[in-house]
Amino acid sequence: MNPINSITPATPLTARQRWSAGRLLAWTLLIGMLLVTLAPLWMVIKTGLLHPHALYAESTTLWPAEPTLLNVKKVLGLMSTDEALALGGSGAQIDFLRALGNSLLFTGIIVTLQTISAAMSAYAFARLRFPGRQTLFALFVASMMVPGVVIFIPNFILIKELGWLNSMAGMVAPFCLMQGFSVFFLRQFFLSIPHDLEEAAILDGASRAYIFWRIVLPLSLTPLATIATLTGINMWNEFFWPYLVAKDPAQQVLPVALQSFKSQTPQGQPDWTGLMAATAITLLPTILLLLAFGRRVVESVQFSGGK
């Protein structure tokens, strides 16, 4: 806990040390920041549960007087258009299940391919001697510095030339084989594995490929999970590229679907309860992820600071 107190760990903390004015102030500020984070999210969920006609009366209350799932049904397209229009709003829908499926596929393909590809090249850079190794690794690391704003136009043109606009292939292509940070991070890890195991296997006549798949990868599950988690978070939230190449409703991933749902609602009189229901539904997978794998996610993000 507090490093100052760890000088004499056997002595229990005095009340003054535990609740000095400074600590009290720090706790107050910390709790304040947590509230600033959580309160807006609660307001979103609460508004999504309001009946559209109750919006004006209850827009700033903290609890819906009569919570309803009407908006959720409307947004998911589970009620007829007439019913939806009768409730007010634009009648716009978000094909949530399809967008969720697209997002899962988009993220899943990239995480799988990119992690495998990065692990393979990272191992080669860490252990195998081949001509051009140093130069190539330097180039891979340098690719991290290329800003997205420089390459999105040529990449868009390439995808267009390939006829991959509005397709999953076009969405995943630029991400799925190469990510400089993943290669760099995994190479650092492979360098830290003792040589002994691999040398023993080589003496037994094992091939490098066998060693990689059967010895090195099983030892590397933690860093692989870290890289997969980081890639997964980034891709789940990626908006810019899918927004450029796949605006077609059938291909939209969640952030693009939410943006297009929002842009369909009239400017002057947005369908707030519908919008907030859509927002809350989109938030759900992230919260579930944190509940299920909180520690893994937190630690992975901390690793992205680079070692």
Partner 1 sequence: MSSSTPAQTRPAPSRVLSHWLSGRGAEALTGWLMVLPALIGFLLFYALPTLRAVEISFTDWNLLREPQFVGWDNYVRLWADDKFWNGMKLSGYYVLLNIPLQTALGLFLAVAMDRLTRSLFVKSVVLLPYLMSNVLVAMVWLWMLDPILGLVNHHIAALGLERMPFFGGVDQAMLTVAGVNIWRHMGLVAMLFLAGMQNIPRHLYEAAALEGASEWQMFRRVTLPLLRPVMVFVLVTSVTGSFQIFDTIAVTTNGGPLDSTRVIVHYIVQNAFSFYKMGYASAMSMVLCLVMLGYTVIQMRIMRANENDLA
Nearer to partner 1, 34 or 191 (CB): 34
Among 10, 63, 82, 131, binds partner 1 (CB under 8 A): 131
Rule CB under 8 A: say whether 176 interacts with partner 1.
Answer: yes
| Closer CB to partner 1, 125 or 189, in the complex | 125
Measure Cα distances from 271 to 27, 99, 166, 247, 249 in Å: 39, 20, 28, 22, 20
Residues 71-110 that bind partner 1 (CB under 8 A): none
User: Of these, 76, 120, 168, 217, which contacts partner 1 (CB under 8 A)?
Assistant: 120
Contact between residue 141 and residue 222 where contact means Cβ atoms under 8 Å apart: no
Exactly one of 14, 17, 59, 81 binds partner 1 (CB under 8 A); that residue is 59
Closest CB 292 distance from partner 1, rounded Å: 11
Give the one residue of 9, 11, 22, 194 binding partner 1; rule: CB under 8 A.
22
- In the complex, least distance from residue 80 CB atom to partner 1, rounded to whole angstroms: 26
Q: How many residues bind partner 1 (CB under 8 A)?
A: 108
Q: Does 188 bind partner 1 (CB under 8 A)?
A: no
Burial of 39 (0-12, 13-18, 19+ CB in 10 A): exposed
Piece in contact with partner 1 (CB under 8 A), picked from 64-72, 85-93, 94-102, 134-142: 134-142
User: Interface with partner 1 includes 50 (CB under 8 A)?
Assistant: no
160 makes contact with partner 1 (CB under 8 A): yes
Does the footprint of partner 1 cover residue 210 (CB under 8 A)?
A: yes
Nearer to partner 1, 26 or 78 (CB): 26
Residues 222-281, interacting with partner 1 (CB under 8 A): 233, 236-240, 243-244, 254-256, 258-259, 262, 272, 275-276, 278-279
Q: How far is the CB of 282 from partner 1 (least distance, A)?
A: 6
150: contact with partner 1 by CB under 8 A = yes
| 148 is an interface residue for partner 1 by CB under 8 A | yes
Structure tokens at 151: 């390459």
Residue 63 to residue 50: CA distance in whole angstroms: 9
In the chain, the amino acid numbered 75 is: V
Residue 123 touches partner 1, criterion: CB under 8 A? yes
Query: The dihedral of CA 202, 206, 209, 211: what is its sign?
Result: negative
Tokens representing 73 are: 């049904």
